[in-house]
Amino acid sequence: MKSEGLFTIADVINSLNDMNRATVLEFHQLGVSLGCKEAISSMGKKVDDWKCEYTTKKPKRALFILRVNKKGWSIRCKLFNIAKYEEAVANCTERIKHVLSSIPDCEMHGGQCKGPVQFSINNDKHSKCRHYFLFQDLQVEDWACVQTLIKLESNYEE
């Protein structure tokens, strides 16, 4: 097994089917195009269980994390500023809106969290955990919306 830091995106996607492999590669390329630093590591002792974290340089913060294993893949987005681009959220697919509205409410991570993100979808107000925007098992048309949200988050300056 390679030492940490020497893994490549090819290592990560090798267990996925062609369609999933192409979609994960698109997200990888998005992170690279946004100037993110990537940190790819295996998750514990399991074979083909990976975590790829993409971090912006200025300000330095995790933008999204890809998780890939034999069962499939998911993406966890850090949408700290989602309230600033509610129009883009309103234009997302109904599946994406459902995921965003069903994310757990913030429990402050034992006092270690700065608190929830507050935003609206179709005038319904939400207060969700800023670290838990998890997307998985979506349709092809949904992923473009997730990419848009990531781009907006990466370009948002506080």
Give the best-scoring range by mean pLDDT among 27-31, 43-47, 60-64: 27-31
User: What pLDDT is stored for residue 2 in this prediction?
Assistant: 43
* Residue 113 pLDDT > 90: no
pTM of the model: 0.88
Say which DSSP state 137 is in.
S
Q: Three-class SS of residue 52? A: strand
Least confident of 35-44, 105-114, 131-140: 105-114
CB 55 within 8 A of CB 37: yes
**Residue 157 banded pLDDT, cuts 50, 70, 90:** low
Q: Which two tokens stand for residue 25?
A: 């590669």
Average pLDDT, stretch 49-59? 90
- Mean residue pLDDT of the chain comes to 87
Cα–Cα distance between 38 and 8 in angstroms, integer? 10
User: What pLDDT is stored for residue 45 in this prediction?
Assistant: 67
Average pLDDT, stretch 81-96? 94
* Residue 71 pLDDT > 80: yes
| Percent of all residues in the chain with a pLDDT value above 90, rounded to a whole number | 59
* Residue 4 pLDDT > 90: no
User: What pLDDT is stored for residue 63 in this prediction?
Assistant: 95
78 alpha carbon, distance to own chain's centre: 6
47 vs 7, more confident: 7
